[in-house]
Chains A and B, each alone.
Chain A
Amino acid sequence: MGMALQCHSHKLSMGETTVRNPDLLRGTVELLILKALTHGRQHGFGIARWLEDVTSDVLRLEEGSLYPALHRMERRGWLESEWGVSDNNRQVKYYRLTRRGREFLQRESSGWTEFATAVFKVLQTT
């Protein structure tokens, strides 16, 4: 995973076991967010719900840590944001993928798949 993150470690836990190695998961949250936004614009709460939904609640992260990630990604030009009104008629900030974000997701997710495949193979052979 090429993009180096500065110092923000995401508190992620898998099942009940907290993953302690931040290197392994570096960039993972960004990738997941990008993936979440491929379906269209979404706010932070919506992204958190989508993550909870698709990972069957296995991958648990402190939902607050999504926000620094969202802001950072916006600064990098992967996302853009706009203010809108939520279903329950409250103002909320929506994020959407930019072209650069979409390209990045494609590039990185294939890398991630290769990596995961490799790990999986190694784990199977032992």
Chain B
Amino acid sequence: MFRVPSSGPMWRRYLRFWGADSPADVDTEIDFHLDELVQLFLARGMTAEQARLEASRRFGNVARVRSECLVVDEGSARATARREALDALSQDLRDAFRGLTKNPGFTVGATIILALGIGLNITVFSFNKALLFPTLPIGDAQTIVRMWSQNMARGIFVQPLAEGDVADLDVSSQSFEDVAAYGVESATLTGGGEAERIPVVRATTNLFALLRVAPALGRAFQPQDAANDAGPVAILSDRAWKNRFAADPAAIGHDVVLNGRPHTIVGVMPRDFWFDSKEVEVWLPRSDPQVERGRGTRSLMAVARLGSGASMQSAQAEMQTVARRLARDYPQTNTGWDILVTGLLPFGPGEKVFFGLVTTLTSLLLAAACAHIANLLLARGMERRGEIAIRAALGARRGRIMRQLFVESVALSVVGGACSLLIAFPIIAEIRSVLGPRTSYLSDLSLDGAALAITGGLTVLASALFGLAPALRLSSVTAGDAMKQPPGGPVTHRRKRPLTSALIGLEVAIATVTLIVTVLYTRAGYNVLAVPLGFDTENVVTFRLDVPEYKYAEVDSAARVLTDVHQRLQGLSFVRAAGAATRLPLNMGPGLPAEAITLEERPEIPLEQSPWTITTVVMPGYFEALEIALLQGRAFESRDSSEAPRVAVVSRSMARAYWPNLDPIGRRLRLDGEDAAAPWLTVIGVVEDVRPLDPNSPQVRQTYLPFAQSSGRALVYFVATSDAPLSRLQDVRLVVRDVDPELPVLDLRTMTETMSIAMSGVELGQKSLRVNAAIAVLLALSGVYSVVAFAVARRRREIAIRVALGGTRSSIVAMLLRQALRPALVGMVIGLVLSALVSRAITLIIFGIDPLDPLTYALTTIALFVAAAAASCLPALRATRVNGVVALRAE
């Protein structure tokens, strides 16, 4: 049924200006049609009733027609809205592009700054995330902890545990659901072509269950696998399975020959599984730690799964009690030793401080970059007051103008964010190549998407806000006002720029703190270098030999190979001295096993001084090749053979610790790890200390033993050459080839290179801080510069008048400088306070320098101030050179 005819109010049509009122329009159309039909039929002589019925019949279903029309209209309304929105957006984007290209200097500068700020932050955050929150192929990795021995009195931050200690804490601990122990070794793999040394992990059979990982193929270890009478079994990594067994599922049940002994393969781990290191190819079972096994040798790694309700803190508290009890029960071996509970990666206190520092400084840099962009946008906004006012006068709504400024700022930060990838990718690649080989946690470090999203988002937000600021500020200015002013803006507003001043202050404060902290850290780095290493790295070639068991089954035959190489090296004409040792002379980090010793003449020693030493086995010529000074007695000679009385050379700090004010030569000591019946070692010489890498650590008490009396399979050689070592690498290789052509010469390098590889992590850290500081300072300087430049541009007229009225150049420059340098000074004061706070927090990693070192603070601040003054002088001086008449006429 249709409604009573009505003409409908005409005013409703006008509402269409504010959008279509589709239902009403459709009704109007339908009503008109029905009314006309009725009129038509009435005219043909029907009664009103008949006419209405006939009209209704001819029209059809009103409700259906109405709803079909509405469906069509709604669709088109949506399409129109979409099209209009797209049109507006593309218009805004076009405008933004035009705005940005009109001022390429601004755009390029801002893009570079944003790219640097964002790029460095993404890098740092990706790095932190890879180390602190790694995605590991382990079930519930967050409840896995590691345990270590710690002895701060000896400067040992982390060291593996003693087997007896692991057994003890496993039995007594309440915090852990399960404890597994393992050791990393290398084994000779034979049977598949050339023999190879490969890293293997020998773990208690519960390790995989504890990690909540099951083999992809075959089975995990079972407790009986570790039994003495069980046949040896092995589990392969996916890589080993693919490379050595061509991913053949039938490999299960086959043998892999390790150290000449066949091991039955019982399982293959999943493709992406790794634990500890990605290099591990084979896992072997080991028996559970036994309480009665020794406590003096600390070489077992321990991981544990936290039980429900336990946290790392509660576990640490419990372990403290356990360690105290162990020290009471086994004073000989456990006095002074703590048990440390860490996450999977144990960060030393210094590392933690350094990460914190880099993260803080990079975040500050991002803040400075945002502040800088904000200032640029504000300045530009003010420059564009005229343009904006004209557009407002021409009818552009304020919303439209603000939207355009918004789009412009966002476009800028999006471009900056995109360019930041150009900065982040290479840096990340460099970190990966330098540190990746050291730790599997960084071996596929990549750009973190979340870091990019958060950093980029923050920057977009910041620049959008500051991009809008000028538009908001303009709300108080009428179009007429703004247009009456020269493009620079009203002179009366010149002192009302608190936002700009605050931003400049912020930038300078950040530059100050970054610069001071970096200078402190760099000076500390030089201090570290200034501490004598205790050995010389010039003109030395190093390489490693690892004599395989499959070819030289007896240790003696292996030792003969190593000795043979040594003797031949000594015979070469260009060789000044040749030696070898079981490790590099750098005393760094964990992993240097300290051995308990007994001194012959002082059997009764207070326990906290229970004597210990770190042993290094060396070939004669070692001290000469590395120029480690002999202080007393003699070095090893060929007469110290396996038949001769056992001898030792000790380091200066060892001699001072155990034989203070006594002549150490001729004193005797015994390694507790050796058989009690083993003969005493007689001290025949004292050499200079080789410095620990971290100079904050206590000196390492070293005992050197002659290779002839200890033997072994692997040595690092040090060949001091009389000419450039680089040219001698090939000669050295030939010597080894003469002894055994199949013996691989590993890591053949100059000592300088070896050292720089060892130090590359530290250098990377220093470089990152320096880059950060350089950018922060550049930002601050260009911030100060642009404030003055902007002020000059705005006040050209005023300056011209002053010049015309006889104002001196210096008074005008001073006036301009005041404007920029006042906030800069405030920023510096804030920066100094911040620096004091930050450097206090990093005392641990700035060696040999007072965190409040007045010289650093004073010089850095003065340098920054002078640079800021110079940066502001440039535009100010330029302004005073302007010909007054030209300047005035220009407006």
Which residues in A have some Cβ–Cβ distance to B below 8 Å?
A: 8, 11, 43-45, 48, 62-65, 67-68, 71-72, 74-75, 83, 86, 90-93
Is the pair A44, B68 in contact by a Cβ cutoff of 8 Å? no
B26 beta carbon closer than 8 Å to chain A: yes
Q: Which residue of A lies closest to B33 (CB)?
A: A45
In the complex, which residues 74-109 of chain B have their Cβ closer than 8 Å to any Cβ of chain A? 75-76, 79
Contacts A11-B60, A90-B7, A91-B7; A72 near B32 (Cβ below 8 A): no
B7 contact set on A, CB distance < 8 A: 90-91
**Interface membership of B29, Cβ < 8 A:** yes
Consensus secondary structure, chain B interface:
helix
The list of the 7 closest CB pairs from A to B, nearest first, reads A62-B60, A68-B68, A64-B65, A64-B60, A71-B72, A75-B76, A64-B59
- State the Cβ distance, A6 to closest chain B Cβ, in Å: 10
Complex CA distance for A83 and B64, rounded to whole angstroms: 23
Contacts A45-B37, A48-B33 given; does A8 touch B68 at CB 8 Å: yes
B28 located at the interface, meaning its Cβ lies under 8 Å from any Cβ of chain A in the complex: yes
Q: Which of B29, B58, B75 has the most CB of A within 10 A?
A: B29
Chain B residues with CB below 8 A from A86, complex form: 32
CA distance A95 to B96 in the complex (A): 40
Q: How far is the CA of A93 from the CA of B69 in the complex (A)?
A: 14
Contacts of B75 in A (CB 8 A): 75
Across the two chains, which residue of chain A brings its CB closest to B71? Answer: A68
CB atoms of B37 and A63 under 8 A apart: yes
**In this assembly, does B313 line the interface, its C-beta being within 8 Å of a C-beta of chain A?**
no
Contact mask for chain B residues 7-24; partner A; CB cutoff 8 A; 1 contact, 0 none: 110100100000000000
Q: Kindly state the separation between the CA atoms of A8 and B69 in the bound complex, as whole angstroms.
A: 11
The reply on B723 being an interface residue by CB < 8 A is: no
B30 contacts the other chain (Cβ, under 8 Å)? yes
| Residues in A whose Cβ lies below 8 Å from that of B28 | 91-93
Q: Is the CB of A72 within 8 A of B37?
A: no
A93 CA to B37 CA, complexed, in Å: 16
Q: Measured between C-beta atoms, what is the minimum distance from B84 to chain A in Å?
A: 15
Tell me if A44 and B72 are in contact (CB < 8 A). Answer: no
Q: A75-B76, A91-B28 are in contact. Are A63 and B13 (CB under 8 A)?
A: no
Q: Which of A64, A72, A86 has the most CB of B within 10 A?
A: A64
**A25 CB, min distance to chain B CBs, angstroms:** 16
Q: Is the CB of A45 within 8 A of B32?
A: yes
B62 within 8 Å of A (CB atoms): yes
Q: How far is the CA of A65 from the CA of B61 in the complex (A)?
A: 9
Q: Is the CB of B76 within 8 A of A92?
A: no
Verify B30–A64 contact, CB threshold 8 A: yes
Whether A93 contacts B68 by the Cβ 8 Å rule is: no
Cβ contacts B667-688/A at 8 Å (1 or 0 each): 0000000000000000000000
Decide yes or no whether B383 CB sits under 8 A from chain A: no
B58 touches A62 (CB 8 A): yes
Partner among A67, A83, A91 whose Cβ is within 8 Å of the Cβ of B65: A67
**Cα–Cα, bound, A44→B37 (Å):** 11
Known A-B contacts A91-B7, A91-B10; the reply to A67 vs B32 at CB < 8 A is no
Known contacts A43-B32, A45-B33, A45-B36: does B65 contact A65 (CB below 8 Å)? yes
Q: Which A residues are CB-close (under 8 A) to B62? A: 64
CA A45 – CA B8 in complex, angstroms?
18
